[in-house]
Structures are given as structure tokens and as C-alpha cells.
Structure 1
């Protein structure tokens, strides 16, 4: 049944993409005509809340077989307090501040939909705190989406370095064991995010990195965002399935979604998260059970959203 829905989704997306792509040049021309007639101050202010980044995503798997790939990517960094239209299906700035207990700006790093299709494996909210007239990056919110199930997991993490229990089935070639080691540098002229998986049997067997540079305003001001991100989500999903086929060809074990075999997988992952927060990296001498009995684990915010 899932294969049938997947095939229907591919056909529908292909038809929608073709039709909307044919209208894209007319939409772009119309938008530029409208901007050219508007006041120059208004047109320049209209793009100030968005910064465009271009860079490379690199994936490397070291166990049980070696497999790596990289591809070019484009991201938008959106100031959610200044944008006139909040991005759909994302947190509002007030919601992000409430979740992270911050009081400053909220920036969202994401890939906008293109010609009717959205594919966002990872979006990140950068949540700032203001103290004594100084602004510092205090916390981040990761927003991960898996394919082809289109489920969404959101959770908070320390951008400077954090370890989070793996709480989502992100790939049919990875089990639910292990922890995510995640780090996100403050976005500026350069942008860096790294995620690795620490597995109890395979060790540090997988790493994903994003390295991007901010495009200067002179080069982005003349670009329509719809053209800049044209087919970027489509390229991402094609790359996912192509590399998934390569892993299958290399005899990497295919692991079905745990929702078909273990309905308690979310609860189990939260127990692992609680143990992890009690005894990170097993630095303490007590066992995980003793830690749970007498420790005071830090609370981490999680939210799952099932596919429509």
C-alpha cells in the first residue's frame, strides 16, 4: 500500500511540477515588473528578512559498508519576526521563543517549496537571547522530516555541541539505536552544521555536514526566490532514492519502519534520551538504571507530527 501511495505521489508531483514550471517565467516577469514600479526603498526592504546561502551537503557512511556522496544545496535564512508572511507548516517566532525560553530574534534556516513541492530533510531555528544589550545564540530547534514517510520530528538542542537520542526512523537503512551528535555554528558569512551517529555496535559510523556561504546582496537582489530555489527540493529527493538504491545494491540491510513492528518505539527512544541526559557519554560511574533512579535528567522538548 505504501508503494502505491509513493507511486501516486511521484506521478502527481511530476505533473504539478511540469505545469507550475511552465508558468514560472511569467510569474517571475510579473513580480519584477511590480517591484520595478514600487518605491526603491520598499523593494530593498522587502528582501532584508531573507539571506540566501549556497553550499554543499556531504554524507559519509563507514559501517557496515563505505558509502559517501555530496551535492550542491541552497537554503534560505529567514528572520521570522520581520517577514511579512510566516512560512507555512513551521513554528511562529513566539512559539519558538516559548519552547526555548529565549527573548531575542528567531531565524529559520529552511528550503522553501518549489513549484508546488516541499522537501526539507532538516530545518533549523536559531533562537537568540538578549541580555544587557548583547545578543547571543542560546538554543536551536531542529525540524527533521523523513522520506518517504513524511513524518516530522522537532527537538531542541545546544548549538555549541549536543548529544540527542535517535528518536526518528530517518532512513530504511538505519535502525533506531544510537545517538545524534549535533553542532550548529552561528550563521554569518559562513554556515556550518554537522550531525554524526554514535551507535552501540557500529560506533561513529555516519556523518552528515552542511557547509554554505552567504550570497552577497548584489547577486541576490536581482534573483527571484522562486527561480533561485527551482527544483531544489526535487533534486534532494531524487538524490535520496538514488543513494538508497546504491545502499541496497551494496547489501545494506533494509529496515522497515518500526511503527509496523514496535508501536512503543517512541517511548523507548525517550527512555534512552532520559538515560543519556542523566549520564552523557557514560562519564558517571553509576549504571543507567541507578542514574534513572537517583539522577535529575534535563528536560528536552520533542514533538512528533505524523504524515497527512
Structure 2
């Protein structure tokens, strides 16, 4: 596999403080790849890590690079062939679910131009946030997408999305006037994407995409049982070059 490919064994945490307190943490793992050099696993290992443009923004029959560039073009951004890296979960035994996929987009000189944060909800919808981050990977953007049945679309996200190195440290804080913030974090340590490390990650978190989807729904059931009000899902307009 490409030397640009890595696996991060992750710890993902959520802290809700308003109107009631709820915290949870779960383990998973993510792949960090160059979209022009996607991993090619041995045939016997291939069911543990599939990568497809159809699992992300844009034309399902296209390529990851082509689809990211098409979206950026709608925002007036051209990379001129610069490198695009992605942090996401792979398809495992035919299943995939990425609450968050991140694309770091560089220009032809190698400088980071922007970050695309692609968010999926459990209703099969997706939304992309375009972020022009500072030197520490920080940016703020208005919330525009319904993710949880217990959060409306008000507020703003304060994100910290530095490109992964030996460690991964991503945080997203949802802020609303007069309320305490909702905080989501993802931390991990880089390992080479060798066959032993792929197997170790898959064994540590079997069927990771299904587990993530189940854990999110289970937290929702617990919040519903605690009588947290459910907020009706609004219509989500398609974004150009995203859906």
C-alpha cells in the first residue's frame, strides 16, 4: 500500500450539556488516504476496507478527486492538481457509515487551501461544510444540517481540524446563544497500513460501520427515554455537486 496511507485507532467522544447532560465514548478506526492513491488490499483482505466515490459527495460513478474538485468549483476554488487527502471509515463487508469524512485540499505548491467536512446523518442525507482554516486548523461555520433529532439547525460550529500527523486530534463544538456547547472529539494514534495493522484494527472493532450506526441510535433511544424533546427534521436542500 502507498506510504501515504495510514490507520488511526480512534476514541470518539460526545458531551451534551443542554438541556440535560449526556456523555459517551466509543472506539473505532479511520483510514487516512491520498484520494489519488487509494489502498489496494490483497483479495482475501479486501472485504475489510473498500473505498468508493459512491460513499461520498458527488457523482457515484465519478472519482473522489473529481467529485471534490467539482464541489470546490462551485465555491470558486481551484486546486490545479494539488494533493487531496481524506480521513474516513472504509466499507467493511459491504457496510459503510461515515458521520464525518474530512478532505484536506492543497494547491499545486502543496499549501493547504481548505478543508471539506462532509457530514452524514442516519437519514441517508449528506452536507458539506467548506472551511478555510487557520494555522492551527481552526475555523467557524454556521450550522446548516440536521444531524440529531434532538438538535435543530441553529447555532454555529467551532471546528479544529489539523491535518493528521503522528496523532489525530479533531474537535467540533456546537455553540448556541444562551446554551452550553455540545462537544464532539476524535483522537487517535497513527499506524502504518500494513496487513497486520489492518487485521488488528478490524478485530479490535469488528464491523466498525455497523457498530457506529448502532451506537448512535442507541444513544438516541436513551435520550428519548429521558424525555428529551424530538425536533422535526426539516427539508434539506441538495447542495450543488454534493448530492
With the shorter chain as reference, the TM-score category is: 0.7 to 0.9
Match of 2:48 in 1: none
Q: What does 1:1-308 correspond to in 2, within 5 Å?
A: 46-83=1-38, 87-89=52-54, 90=56, 92-97=64-69, 99=72, 100-103=77-80, 104-131=82-109, 135-147=110-122, 149-159=123-133, 160-202=137-179, 204-216=180-192, 220-224=194-198, 228=202, 230-259=206-235, 305=243
Q: Which moved more, 1:137-146 or 1:82-91?
A: 82-91
**Offset from partner CA, 1:45-98 (integer Å, 9 cap, x none):** x34342111121110001101111001110001111223776332352244346
Aligned equivalents of 1:205 and 1:251: distance in 2? 20
Whether the aligned pair in 2 keeps the contact of 1:143 and 1:154 (CA below 8 Å) is: yes
Extract structure 1 runs of 4+ deviating beyond 3 A. 223-227, 301-304
Whether the aligned pair in 2 keeps the contact of 1:122 and 1:142 (CA below 8 Å) is: yes
Is the partner of 1:248 in helix, strand or coil? Answer: helix
Whether the aligned pair in 2 keeps the contact of 1:166 and 1:176 (CA below 8 Å) is: yes
Q: TM-score, normalised by structure 2?
A: 0.79
Whether the aligned pair in 2 keeps the contact of 1:195 and 1:209 (CA below 8 Å) is: yes
Is the partner of 2:217 in helix, strand or coil? Answer: helix
Whether the aligned pair in 1 keeps the contact of 2:2 and 2:39 (CA below 8 Å) is: no
What's the C-alpha RMSD, in Å, of the aligned pairs? 2.5
Higher relative contact order by CA 8 Å / sep ≥ 6: 1 or 2? 2
Cα–Cα, structure 1 residues 80 and 304, in superposed 2: closer, same or farther, change >3 Å? closer
Gaps spanning 5+ residues in structure 1: where?
1-45, 260-264, 268-300
Aligned equivalents of 2:149 and 2:27: distance in 1? 23
Q: Which moved more, 1:53-62 or 1:82-91?
A: 82-91
Whether the aligned pair in 2 keeps the contact of 1:114 and 1:230 (CA below 8 Å) is: no
Deviation for aligned residue 1:155: 2.3
Match of 1:3 in 2: none
Q: TM-score, normalised by structure 1?
A: 0.63
Whether the aligned pair in 1 keeps the contact of 2:84 and 2:104 (CA below 8 Å) is: yes
User: Which has the larger Rg?
Assistant: 1
Deviation for aligned residue 1:304: 5.2
Deviation for aligned residue 1:227: 7.1
Q: Which has the higher helix share?
A: 1
Aligned length: 215
Q: Which moved more, 1:87-96 or 1:224-233?
A: 224-233
Aligned equivalents of 2:230 and 2:145: distance in 1? 16
